[in-house]
Amino acid sequence: MNERRDGDRYHLTSEEIAAFRRDGFVHLRGVLDEEELAVIEVDYQRLIQREIPVLDKDFCDMSGEYGQPIDDFAVINVMLPRRYHPAWRGNLVERRAESIAAQLHGDGMVLDYDQLLAKPPRRPSGAFAWHQDQAYWIKTPDTRTATMWLALDDSGAENGGMHFVPGSQQERDLREHSPLSGTRDESHTLAAVLEDHDPVFQPELSRGDATIHGERVLHGSPGNPSGRWRRAYVVAYRSEATVAQERRLGFTHSHNDEARVLGQVEALDEET
């Protein structure tokens, strides 16, 4: 029995909360046990294998351009799986993540979006570019974020696990980001420039572990040259006011949001 898990709740230590504040992320062990993971895994596989239909660009390859053949995907990305599979809404992953977000940021944190990121075996090209999540999002006054990246496979150096630049969230400005390939209409992915002096850390996650990261910490991942999968289930909790503001502008984190409501976003950026 793991005393850290208590029904819907996962208990953080004071050291873990301090690590999140200092580094911009924290590695949590055993957020889900094997029995709990097995339940999630069934529908996870149905989603990444397209047995559950996902609309247009919300099923894409995050390592390249839109429109590539599915068999060539190096980073399978499913945006908003709970939209396409409503039975997942309110599942245990969401409930545990909600409890973690409340411990890190206090009251008023709500689910903003969910996402699946799966790297098939033998895809060394499947790198996920260095980025800060805030670069993808509308600028709002309250940026509190707790994004849980749950490992469905052991994840680390061998199979393209996540890297972080600890402390990068403390920089005054976001790094400059640009589209990885062509324009945002051709490829959703943004890439930031890593500096030579940036310290890079790669946690080694066991199946059922998770990292929690904030909106400004630099992170990314290399390709997966190994013979095994690297699957992750992401749920992001943000402030209720921020999520409400996004939705008023039509921003849902879907890759199918029309023109990413750019005109309205630019107007909001000027106001804030």
Q: What is the pLDDT of residues 10-40, one digit of tens each?
A: 999 999 999 999 999 999 999 999 999 999 9
- 21 Cβ partners below 8 Å, 6+ apart? none
Say which CATH number the domain at 21 has.
2.60.120.620
Q: Which residue shows structure tokens 């992915």? A: 189
pLDDT of 185 above 80: no
Q: Which of the four pLDDT bands, split at 50, 70 and 90, describes residue 268?
A: very low
How many Å apart are CA 98 and CA 91, to the nearest integer?
11
Q: Are 218 and 174 in contact (CB under 8 A)?
A: no
Sheet holding 219-221, edge to edge: 128-131, 219-221, 163-164
**Average pLDDT of 112-123?**
97
Instruction: State which residues form the domain around 76.
Output: 5-271
The string of pLDDT tens digits covering residues 128-139 is 889 999 998 988
Our count of domains for the chain comes to 1
| Of residues 85, 54, 83, the one with CA closest to residue 70 | 54
How many Å apart are CA 45 and CA 66, to the nearest integer?
22
The string of pLDDT tens digits covering residues 190-244 is 889 899 999 999 999 999 999 999 999 999 999 999 999 999 999 999 999 999 9
pLDDT score, position 187: 62
Q: Are 252 and 113 in contact (CB under 8 A)?
A: yes
pLDDT of 261 above 80: no
Query: What's the mean per-residue pLDDT of the chain?
Result: 90
The string of pLDDT tens digits covering residues 44-85 is 999 999 999 999 899 999 887 777 778 889 999 999 999 999
